[in-house]
Chains A and B, each alone.
Chain A
Amino acid sequence: MTSLAKLLEAALFAAPRPLALDALATLDPDASPAAVSAAVDELREHYDVDGHGVELVEQGGGWQILTRAEYAEVIERAQVAVRPQRLSAAALETLAIIAYRQPIGRAEIEEIRGVAVGSVLKSLHERGLIDIVGRSEGIGRPLLYGTTGQFLEQFALRHLEELPRADELAIALRGAGSAVLAE
């Protein structure tokens, strides 16, 4: 490996969160963005080709060293690390709405889901998946929620744009008898 790739490896190992390319570039002022990018590729290939237990993954707005999925069971059984709890269906629904409609207020979420979401918002916030991103100009200036970097990280997304666009969804429903929808 090149010395730059080794330096990046050390930094990625030490970092608690994914590191973006520009953050990696600050490690070596002499390295060009292209060189940093090439070094990241080199490190990723090094892990892939030489057969390592970890891999370099781009997600959550940066690069991160992760253990390979095939070892998850064994690692958890030995109580070395614990997999995060799965989200409930209610939490996932709320999160999906926030991801697509952010910034969004509680009333709008409840309108879409048809149920009260107060406690779900609280638990999503506690898990660091959503945060308050502002206040609406509407009556009472309700709080507006948005997703966090932790959300991207926990769903292995590079950025929000990686989610399919709203008009790409519900393919089966689109175009079918939209007369009643005409407003």
Chain B
Amino acid sequence: MIASPFRTADADGATFVVELSQFTGPLDLLLSLIRDEQVDIYDIPIARIAEQFLARIGSLALDEAADYLEMAARLLRIKAQMLLPRADGEESWEDPRAELVRRLLEYQQMREVVDLLEHLGEERRHQFNRRWVPQAADIVPISAPLALTLTDLLAAVDRVLRTTKEPMTHDVLPRALDVAGAMTTIRVLLTRRRNARWSDLIGQDAEPWQVLSVLLALLEMAKLGELRIAQSRPFGSVEICRDVVSEAA
């Protein structure tokens, strides 16, 4: 409810902002001219001031800012009104500058307050309270420490663990390869016949461990020189035969 009117104020960002200028507004500029020219604020030589005002906003490139243009127009209107003839001693004549003077005085009064606030704020800036937090629009409520017992915490953990899926576990069974057994089988086979094939050593429904055992046994025996392994052509069937040379040796 409070934030909304300020959100609409974003639209004002599109208006001309003269923050970087040395003047905060047309009244500020006008006051500075009056000071520079050392004229009486109650008897402003409006023609001269209006001229200077126009020259200044021209040189400061402020003549596109509506606020300054409005003041320029106001000054010129007052100047025109001052030129109108009037009967001497006319009681009802009202100085066309009166409204401008009132605003200037009001503005000047406010500038005094600005000086005061600037002074007070500058002094205060140098003092920190226990923990200075940059002021934000939304004051975040202070988060209180947790009011929680260990039992509560454990119960919560238990609830979480219950709801999670049953973990998948694999039982890895150690299954030793029987290389020695396979070697015995191969030796027995090769004593009965000279040649053998891979398919003779491995049954149709051999398990992986058996296949592996036979393979390792063959390699081992070939290394020991008990047999030779030969393949007549690529991807052809492997022939296993007794090593005649070593046998002879």
Contacts and interface: CB of A to CB of B under 8 A. Distances in A.
Interface of A: 13, 16, 57, 59, 64-69, 72, 75, 81-84, 86-90, 92-93, 95-97, 99-100, 111-116, 118-119, 121-122, 125-129, 131-132, 143, 150, 153-157, 163-164, 166, 169-170, 173, 176-181, 183
Contacts of A66: 127-129
A69 B107 CA distance: 32
A153 B106 CA distance: 26
A128 B71 CA distance: 32
B126 A83 contact: yes
A180 B102 CA distance: 9
Contacts of B5: 132, 143
Contact of A169 (B13, B27, B109, B142): B109
B6 A114 contact: no
B140 to A, nearest CB: 12
Contacts, number: 168
Given A118-B15, A164-B116, 6 more contacts: A72-B126, A99-B113, A112-B110, A115-B24, A170-B109, A183-B98
Interface of B is mostly: helix
A180 B97 contact: yes
A127 B103 CA distance: 29
Contact of B12 (A75, A81, A118): A118
B12 to A, nearest CB: 3
Contacts of B134: 82, 84
Interface residues of B, number: 62
Interface of B: 2, 5-6, 9-13, 15, 17-19, 24-28, 40-43, 67, 71, 95, 97-98, 101-103, 105-114, 116-118, 120-137, 139, 142
A179 B102 CA distance: 11
A76 B26 CA distance: 37
A122 B15 CA distance: 14
B15 A100 contact: no
A128 B9 contact: no
- Interface core residue of B43, B107, B110 (most chain A CB under 10 Å): B110
B15 A116 contact: yes
Nearest to B20: A88
Nearest to B12: A118
Contact of A155 (B103, B106, B120, B129): B120
A28 to B, nearest CB: 21
- Interface core residue of A64, A118, A178 (most chain B CB under 10 Å): A118
B120 A157 contact: yes
Given A127-B135, A169-B109, A177-B43, A72 B127 contact: yes
